Amino acid sequence: LDQNSSEAHKWYAIALGSRGEFQGVKEKILDGFEFKKHIDAAAELNPGDHITHHLLGRFCYEVSQLSWIERKMAATLFASPPSASLPEAIQHFLQAEKLKPDGWKENRLFIAKCYIGEGDYNQAVIWLDKADSIPLASADDK
């Protein structure tokens, strides 16, 4: 892995994240730390990449949604389990939006999900409407 390539770090993190769909909790947690290390490196090397900020937002969102048992398992594996909050996730998603002003549905959906988690339903509706306003580009957008 080229340590000076933001793209290498970003795509390595994406591969780790994709692998998590098929793993148990322990492996997900282990990969989560590795994911964070590589996505932070990608963001440091290229702070203007909207996808990297979206991925940082996804990490923060997912960590903030960990169940009690997942947090306890992470605490037994590591001195300190990963921590992140919905406001941190929102910050990263909004930065991605700023870097790609025409936006994309998935990013706007996650902004709305964060606001729902915060109990700010007015903002959630605004972002859902913004997501809905983007035309479907492919069947994956449905």
pLDDT tens across 56-67, in order? Answer: 999 999 989 988
> Residue 26: pLDDT above 90?
no
32-36, 51-55, 135-139: which is most confident: 51-55
| Res 142: pLDDT | 62
Structure tokens at 59: 């990490």
Residue 79, pLDDT > 80, answer no
pLDDT in tens, 3-23: 899 999 999 999 998 887 788
In whole angstroms, what separates CA 119 from the centre of its chain?
19
Single pTM value for the model: 0.88
More confident residue, 25 or 109: 109
DSSP 76-99: HHSSS-----HHHHHHHHHHHHHH
Residue found under tokens 């770090």: 9
pLDDT, greater one: 89 or 72: 89
- Residue positions counted in the chain: 142
pLDDT at 122: 98
Mean pLDDT value across the chain: 90
pLDDT band at 104 (very low <50, low <70, confident <90, very high): very high
